[in-house]
Amino acid sequence: MISRMARPKFYHFLGCIIPHRYPSIERAARLVFEDLGVELLDMVGATCCPAPGVFGSFDRVTWASIAARNLTIAEAGGHPITTGCNGCFASLWDANHELHVDEELRKRVNENLAEIGREFKGTIEVTHYVDVLVNTVGLDEVRRHVVRPLEGVRMALHPGCHWMRPRALKKKDNSERPRIFRELCETSGAEYVPYKDELICCGAGGAVRTADLKVSLDFTKQKFESIEEAGGADIIVTPCPFCELQLDLGQVEIQKNFGVEFTYDVLHVMELLALAFGHEPGEFGLKTHLQYLQRKSEPRWERLGVKA
Amino acid sequence: MTSPETESAVIIDEPDTSFVEMIKRTGGPNVQNCFQCGTCSGSCPAGARTNYLVRLIIRKALLGLKEEVISAPELWYCTTCYTCQDRCPQEVNPTDVIKAIRNIAVAEGYMLDNHRKTAAKVVDAGHAVPLDKDTWRKLRESVGLEPVPPNASGNPWAIEEIRKITRKSGFDSLIGYEEMRRAAEEKARQKAKKG
């Protein structure tokens, strides 16, 4: 499908957690998009999105101003944005939307942006990697690149919240019975494992991880327990690095705070696809996840069906 | 995880509607649609493990109990997962209402220290989770990436732009940025003296 079209180009919004804590996701995303013929353009000087539940909870106008500044970087080049983070997606998408419908907010934001010689114009679209893979590239084309199907790997999913919610506004998927993220992950050949609490939040968002780590980890622990009740899984896949941090590093923190040990390998969907596309885990540094660095452990290669 | 409940009854002769009007400005126009069905709290993963009750907060807000609502620590247990918003039969948009109430709380001085510090990181480094150690640069290199990404981490001019925005919008004074910066500098000086 893509070969007959001009090579699609997206401004690549990195955010904070992917480039600064889970660079394996950034590397995997670059490999996968390169394979698929999608060009990623650097957003030079982009900042924190800024975190929607954190900054959006503190001061809406400052939140929207910083988000709008990021949007202006892409507006200047005239290409849509894509990001691999549910939080960044929410901030940039929501700000883009709210600045379209709320004149008063747009006026105040542009007054702030005038200080730095910028103006929000509202000319570009904000997407998540999932949108690019499903809508721009297409699942058939993704499937065509799978040369190492992860057959027999039991995969639990954590779709997270902010890509598809609020449902009435985002109009992406049915947030009570989502299928898009599942269909994308299933192209890898891994076997989908349903569990009762698949759709509950990881616990990190809304500034809760910062406010009260134990409360936020209690959400995460519930998810792991729910996966165990469903017979366990070999991997957990998510489209968000903040969820990944909470589920990955969270296992170390849960052990410390609650004395319960979980040993799940947690992959971003781009890391899953990089493996399915035949890239070796060392090409994008799968073993640099903070869980492994802190525990001085490695991914459970035998469960993943790949070697280091 | 809990906060003490009010000991004596709150007497409400005439509900004060000014708080509701403040909430409506950014939380959406439908907060008064709430008929207290409790779908929000029944759906809430934060409410399942803490004393955070969306239904109660909204009811109190509708009765004008502003101080009680904005000063409650449990206001900060919402992870903004939007499950309540997707299920609310009255289109109250409870998550947006909670965020609007949090904005009012912060404007009136109710902000956790940890949240001030996170906010200050964005003003300091352009990122809430900054590239603040050599370890992180080496981690990037170990996966085959350049040590510093093309974001604000390698572009001080971008951080300068953020500072201009946060000064102009009043965010710096809202979070007490200058006081925090001076305290950090003083701490560093003391440490240098000792060392």
* Residues B140, B90 share a domain: no
* Residues B159, B137 share a domain: yes
* Residues B100, B24 share a domain: yes
Split at pLDDT 50, 70, 90, the class of B12 is confident
Maximum alpha-carbon separation in chain B: 67
Nearest by CB to residue B82, choosing from A161, A212, A284, is A161
Split at pLDDT 50, 70, 90, the class of B6 is low
The answer to whether residue A31 is domain-embedded is: yes
Residues of chain B in contact with residue A24, where contact means CB-CB under 8 angstroms, are 143
* Residues A154, A119 share a domain: no
* Residues B154, B128 share a domain: yes
* Residues A167, A124 share a domain: no
A vs B, Cβ pairs < 8 A, gives 221
| Chain A (11-50) residues lying within 8 Å, Cβ to Cβ, of chain B | 14, 16-17, 19-21, 23-24, 26-27, 42-48, 50
* Residues B119, B100 share a domain: no
* Residues A101, A162 share a domain: no
- pLDDT of B126-146, one tens digit each? 999 999 999 999 999 999 999
Hey, is the C-beta of B86 within 8 angstroms of any chain A C-beta? yes
Rounded distance between C-alpha atoms, residue A132 and residue A137, angstroms? 6
Complex-level ipTM beyond the 0.90 threshold: yes
For chain A, the straight-line distance linking the first and the last C-alpha, in angstroms and rounded, comes to 34
* Residues B30, B101 share a domain: yes
Q: Which of A71, A94, A129 is the last residue of a domain?
A: A129
Supply the pLDDT for residue A6.
81
Supply the pLDDT for residue B170.
97
Residue B4 pLDDT exceeds 60 = no
Residues of chain A in contact with residue B114, where contact means CB-CB under 8 angstroms, are 210-211
Residue A105 pLDDT exceeds 70 = yes
The answer to whether residue B11 is domain-embedded is: no
* Residues A209, A113 share a domain: no
Supply the pLDDT for residue A306.
86
* Residues A85, A184 share a domain: no
The length of chain A in residues reads 308
Secondary element (H or E) of residue B166:
helix B156-169
Q: Which of B72, B107, B142 is the last residue of a domain?
A: B107
Supply the pLDDT for residue B192.
87
**Chain B residue with minimal CA distance to A164?**
B82
The answer to whether residue A142 is domain-embedded is: no
* Residues B172, B127 share a domain: yes
Interface test with B, best of A41, A66, A89, A218 (most B CBs within 10 A): A66
Nearest by CB to residue A59, choosing from B103, B128, B140, is B103
Split at pLDDT 50, 70, 90, the class of A201 is very high
User: Which of A103-112, B45-54, B84-93, B182-191 is the least confident region?
Assistant: B182-191
* Residues A189, A98 share a domain: no
| Chain A (221-240) residues lying within 8 Å, Cβ to Cβ, of chain B | 222
Residue A303 pLDDT exceeds 50 = yes
* Residues B190, B139 share a domain: yes
Nearest by CB to residue A112, choosing from B130, B150, B168, is B168
DSSP B11: P
Nearest CA among A90, A16, A38, A71 for reference residue A241? A16
Nearest CA among A150, A160, A164, A95 for reference residue B45? A160
A32 is written with which tokens?
């996968």
The answer to whether residue A241 is domain-embedded is: yes
- Quick check: A113 and B165 CB within 8 A? yes
* Residues A220, A87 share a domain: no
- Quick check: A19 and B131 CB within 8 A? yes
For chain B, the straight-line distance linking the first and the last C-alpha, in angstroms and rounded, comes to 39
The answer to whether residue B151 is domain-embedded is: yes
* Residues B131, B98 share a domain: no
Residue A308 pLDDT exceeds 80 = no
| CATH for A177 | 3.40.50.11810
Q: Which of A79, A96, A129 is the last residue of a domain?
A: A129
Supply the pLDDT for residue B10.
84
The length of chain B in residues reads 195
Interface test with A, best of B1, B132, B146, B165 (most A CBs within 10 A): B165
- Quick check: A45 and B161 CB within 8 A? yes
* Residues B121, B76 share a domain: no
Residue B175 pLDDT exceeds 60 = yes
Rounded distance between C-alpha atoms, residue B110 and residue B73, angstroms? 9
Split at pLDDT 50, 70, 90, the class of A65 is very high
**Chain B residue with minimal CA distance to A241?**
B129
Residue A213 pLDDT exceeds 90 = yes
| Cβ proximity of B149 and B131 under 8 Å | yes
Rounded distance between C-alpha atoms, residue B129 and residue B32, angstroms? 38
A294: exposed, middle or buried (Cβ count in 10 Å: 0-12, 13-18, 19+): middle
* Residues A117, A188 share a domain: no
Supply the pLDDT for residue A22.
98
Rounded distance between C-alpha atoms, residue B99 and residue A262, angstroms? 33
Q: Which of B58, B75, B107 is the last residue of a domain?
A: B107
Which phi and psi angles does A82 have, rounded to 5°? -130, 150
Residue A62 pLDDT exceeds 80 = yes
* Residues A167, A29 share a domain: no
Nearest CA among B175, B105, B9, B14 for reference residue A62? B175
Nearest chain A Cα distance for residue B91, angstroms: 10
Supply the pLDDT for residue A3.
52
The answer to whether residue A143 is domain-embedded is: no
A184: exposed, middle or buried (Cβ count in 10 Å: 0-12, 13-18, 19+): buried
| Chain A (48-67) residues lying within 8 Å, Cβ to Cβ, of chain B | 48, 50-62, 65-66
Supply the pLDDT for residue B195.
65
Q: Which percentage of chain A shows pLDDT scores above 90?
A: 96
Distances, alpha carbon A170 to alpha carbons A54, A166, B86, in Å: 20, 6, 11
The answer to whether residue B3 is domain-embedded is: no
* Residues B87, B134 share a domain: no
**Range(s) of the domain holding residue B183:** 113-194
- For range A66-86, the mean pLDDT: 98
Residue type, A248: D
| Chain B (16-75) residues lying within 8 Å, Cβ to Cβ, of chain A | 26, 45-46, 49-50
Supply the pLDDT for residue A212.
96
* Residues B103, B23 share a domain: yes
B172 is written with which tokens?
């710096």
Nearest by CB to residue A206, choosing from B80, B129, B159, is B80
**Chain B residue with minimal CA distance to A65?**
B165
The answer to whether residue A135 is domain-embedded is: no
- pLDDT of A37-55, one tens digit each? 999 999 999 999 999 988 9
| CATH for A55 | 1.20.1050.140
Residue A270 pLDDT exceeds 60 = yes
The answer to whether residue B146 is domain-embedded is: yes
- pLDDT of A141-168, one tens digit each? 999 999 999 999 999 999 999 999 999 9
* Residues A171, A251 share a domain: yes
The answer to whether residue B2 is domain-embedded is: no
**Range(s) of the domain holding residue A59:** 2-129
Supply the pLDDT for residue B1.
47
* Residues A110, A234 share a domain: no
Q: Which of B107, B125, B143 is the last residue of a domain?
A: B107
B129 is written with which tokens?
């989770």
Split at pLDDT 50, 70, 90, the class of B5 is low
Q: Domain count for chain B, please give it.
A: 2
The answer to whether residue B1 is domain-embedded is: no
Q: Domain count for chain A, please give it.
A: 2
- Quick check: B152 and A47 CB within 8 A? yes
Nearest chain A Cα distance for residue B54, angstroms: 14
* Residues A185, A61 share a domain: no
